[in-house]
Amino acid sequence: MTSNTPQPATFKPSGALSGKISVPGDKSISHRALIFSALAVGKSRITGLLEGEDVLATADALRAMGARIEKKDDVWTVHGVGVGGLMQPDAALEMGNSGTSTRLLMGLIASHAISATFIGDASLTKRPMGRVIEPLSQMGADIRARETSDHKACLPLTVRGICPAIPIEYRLPVASAQVKSAILLASLNTPGITRIIEPVLTRDHSETMLKGFGAQISVTTDADGSRVISLTGEAELQPQKIKVPGDPSSAAFLVVAALIVPGSDILIENVGINPTRSGLFEVLQNMGGDISFKKQRTVGGEPVADIHVKHSPLTGIDVPAHIAPSMIDEFPVLFIAAALASGETTTRGLHELRVKESDRLSQMAKGLELLGVKLTEKDDGLVIEGSGGKPLSGGRAKPVIETALDHRIAMSFAVAGLVTKGGLTIDDIKPVETSFPGFDTLMKQLAS
């Protein structure tokens, strides 16, 4: 982990963005590739793995529980211990900023006869863990968490796993792929069939990858349209060769940058376009964005394409709540696009944004207001009045944006900096390392 000293960074108007680039590997798929490989019997190979701090936290935790994980040239090799083969870690697991590492690994440990304590940074320590504690406790795990003054269960927490755990049928009360994946991971070492009922579809990388690893998993639809995922436990996973595609959530920043900087024309190669993740692209197209998908193909069960984006005048729209789960990480950068569009953009159904790496509705509202953007912050969304393409500027000559240890707030305002009158400073660029190492360099490369 890097030091805690904030590292401010300034982003100024640039010329048109142009060129052919690629973005680092998908964060969600990278976590899962490491975890499932660690549970297979034998040696898996991963290329394109995201080497961001969040994913490295997952790798370190798996090593601490007995998996051998090595990197040579561009290939990561994971020597799996087999389902049920994890060992007791000697020390607390340091999760840094990563909610995904924490929630997925809690599930993994829940059905092993080991215990582990999870710790993290100031942002992660505020995030609610009750959503995973509840189903994992039903499966028999004993989880003790710090209770906040408003009765939220948060880090630090200790999971004491149980073997054998009890298979459950669980209806997800929040649309969360992390909760779904935590239960799936716990069910791998649990006898019998565990069923998860998912009323609202969330990213399905765990289901796709588990099939690839040879788990007995099926997905059906019940009478009310909910997805029902059934996994037969005491699974034996076969080692795999995995190619991780570029992260659409990282490409999102470059897509919006190209749309709002006049004259831009860029191609982002090898990006995942799984429909459970690609809501932002659809919304931006509906706003008038010139975005096209070239060379569409399937890599390791995941749809992938090269994304061609040209600068476009955008028009504000009403973003329907049902699209939120397929772009849940992309709202911060959508708000930047909305701030440059003509007319009003309305978003709703976004309560979950308040419990991400920061309260993203309030952080984005604060930053945009500093840039002179007119908006209303509702309980579950923002209503933004766009500038119609005019550069943003607040009362201050050099606004400083507070990023609250949130990589996506930092990158969203870095993009906004390209269309300000005199530039802006974000108070800390370091959190970007959690998901998008090389972001700053790539932005400069596109602008040169």
Q: Could you list the active site residues?
A: 329
Residue 178 within binding range of ligand S3P, rule CB under 6 A: yes
Binding mask 101-140 for ligand S3P (x = CB under 6 A): ----------------------------------------
Residue 177 within binding range of ligand S3P, rule CB under 6 A: yes
Compute CA distances 209 → 54, 61, 273, 393, whole Å. Answer: 20, 20, 16, 45
The least CB distance from residue 176 to ligand S3P, in Å, is 3
- Grouping H, G, I as helix, E, B as strand and the rest as coil, residue 236 is coil
Structure tokens at 279: 């809501």
Q: Closest CB to ligand S3P among 28 and 312?
A: 28
Q: What is the DSSP letter of 63?
A: H
Q: Which among 12-20, 70-78, 161-169, 172-180 is the span making contact with ligand S3P, rule CB under 6 A?
A: 172-180
Residue 328 within binding range of ligand S3P, rule CB under 6 A: yes
Q: Which amino acid is at 160?
A: R
| Site residue total, ligand S3P (CB under 6 A) | 10
Q: How far is CA 262 from the centre of its chain?
A: 29
**Within 10 Å of residue 24's Cβ, how many Cβ atoms?**
23
The least CB distance from residue 27 to ligand S3P, in Å, is 7
Q: Which among 11-19, 133-141, 177-185, 411-419 is the span making contact with ligand S3P, rule CB under 6 A?
A: 177-185
Counts for the chain of helices (H) and strands (E), in that order: 12, 23
Residue 100 within binding range of ligand S3P, rule CB under 6 A: yes
| Strand pairing category for 400-401 and 424-426 | parallel
Distance, in Å, from the CA atom of 290 to the CA atom of 222, rounded to the nearest integer, reads: 38
Q: Which among 59-67, 174-182, 225-233, 276-284 is the span making contact with ligand S3P, rule CB under 6 A?
A: 174-182
Distance, in Å, from the CA atom of 116 to the CA atom of 434, rounded to the nearest integer, reads: 23
Q: Which among 61-69, 171-179, 226-234, 303-311 is the span making contact with ligand S3P, rule CB under 6 A?
A: 171-179
Residue 329 within binding range of ligand S3P, rule CB under 6 A: yes
Q: Are 262 and 14 spatial neighbours (Cβ–Cβ below 8 Å)?
A: no
Residue 176 within binding range of ligand S3P, rule CB under 6 A: yes
Q: Which among 43-51, 175-183, 240-248, 398-406 is the span making contact with ligand S3P, rule CB under 6 A?
A: 175-183
The least CB distance from residue 201 to ligand S3P, in Å, is 12
Closest CA to 146 of 123, 129, 160: 129
Structure tokens at 251: 């490409």
Give the chain's end-to-end CA distance (angstroms, integer): 31
The least CB distance from residue 331 to ligand S3P, in Å, is 10
**Within 10 Å of residue 167's Cβ, how many Cβ atoms?**
21
Residue 207 within binding range of ligand S3P, rule CB under 6 A: no
The least CB distance from residue 380 to ligand S3P, in Å, is 15
Residue 28 within binding range of ligand S3P, rule CB under 6 A: yes
Residue 181 within binding range of ligand S3P, rule CB under 6 A: yes
Binding mask 332-371 for ligand S3P (x = CB under 6 A): --------------------x-------------------
As to burial, measured by CB atoms within 10 angstroms (0-12 exposed, 13-18 middle, 19+ buried), residue 151 is exposed
Q: Closest CB to ligand S3P among 95 and 371?
A: 95
Q: Are 49 and 7 spatial neighbours (Cβ–Cβ below 8 Å)?
A: no
Q: Closest CB to ligand S3P among 111 and 435?
A: 435
Q: Which residue has the tokens 């470059």?
A: 254
Distance, in Å, from the CA atom of 188 to the CA atom of 231, rounded to the nearest integer, reads: 7
Q: Closest CB to ligand S3P among 192 and 437?
A: 437
Q: Closest CB to ligand S3P among 166 and 200?
A: 200
DSSP string, 407-447: HHHHHHHHHHHTTBSS-EEES--GGGGGT-TTHHHHHHHHH
Query: Under the rule (CB under 6 A), what is the footprint of ligand S3P?
Result: 28, 100, 176-178, 181, 203, 328-329, 352
